[in-house]
Amino acid sequence: MSMALDQQRMIDVIYGGLAYVGPNSPWTFAVDKEPTVKDLGPYYQYDPKKAKAMLAEAGFPNGFTANMIMYEYASYNKDISEMAADMLKDIGVTLKVQNLDYTSYNSQWVGRKFEEMANGWGTVSFEPDGFLYNQMHSKSPGNRSFIDDPVV
């Protein structure tokens, strides 16, 4: 796959148009109306030129290589990983996707033992405190993004 895809194309291809670009947190926990992609600001926009400039500013003018683990729970998991790798290629980042067997993947994902990136599922809750604690609290086993921020 070697075509640059914007966010809407990714949604159309992977989810048949039945999704939207947005953050991981359910907005109904905090506000009455879900924000649009434009409302979410520059970091939710697909902007390879800006991304390249930010990488250069961060000390990676020639990009870098990273590894990502995944397990193919459904075909779209592999599609998402491949499209993410393709989009990152546009800014000089080489993403090496490793499709693991179920046991290997989950031992790393659930155990928070993956080295760089993972395409994975998240813990959920039907109320804000449970959702945010599960995803973001430094002591939560569901905090697979390794967030350790006293303010959060």
116 compared with 12, residue with greater pLDDT: 116
Confidence band (pLDDT; 50, 70, 90) for 22?
A: low
- The pLDDT tens digits for 117-126 are 998 877 667 7
CA distance 29 to 26: 6
Whether the predicted model's global pTM rises above the 0.75 cut: no
